[in-house]
C-alpha cells in the first residue's frame, strides 16, 4: 500500500523525506513530533536497554540457580 505523501515525480516522501538517510522532523510541528517520536514504533534495540543497564550490560554468563525456599523466607 503506497502512502499519499510520497511524490511520484519527485521520488520523495513529504512526511518522512524518504529516500533521504535522515528522518524529516521540524520543531514547529509539536503534534507531528509526538506521532513520530521514540516509542511509537517497535524499538527493537532500545526496548531492552533498561533491563540490560541493571545488570551493567553483562553478557554471556549463566544465571545463578534460584532456590525453592528463598522467596518464602524473605517475606
Sequence-separated (6 or more) residues with CB below 8 Å from residue 46: 38
Instruction: State the pLDDT at residue 15.
Output: 93
Instruction: State the pLDDT at residue 27.
Output: 96
Q: Please state the pTM of the whole predicted model.
A: 0.58
pLDDT in single tens digits along all 75 residues of the chain: 678 999 999 999 999 999 999 999 999 999 999 999 999 999 999 999 999 999 999 999 998 999 987 666 666
6 contacts 18 by C-beta, under 8 angstroms: yes
Phi, psi of 7 (to 5 degrees): -85, 120
Amino acid at each position: 500500500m503506497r502512502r499519499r505523501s510520497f511524490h511520484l515525480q519527485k521520488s520523495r516522501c513529504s512526511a518522512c523525506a524518504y529516500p533521504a538517510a535522515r528522518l524529516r522532523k521540524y520543531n514547529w510541528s509539536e503534534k507531528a513530533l509526538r506521532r513520530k517520536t521514540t516509542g511509537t514504533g517497535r524499538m527493537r534495540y532500545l526496548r531492552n536497554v533498561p533491563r540490560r543497564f541493571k545488570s551493567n550490560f553483562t553478557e554471556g554468563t549463566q544465571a545463578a540457580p534460584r532456590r525453592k525456599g528463598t522467596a518464602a523466607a524473605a517475606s
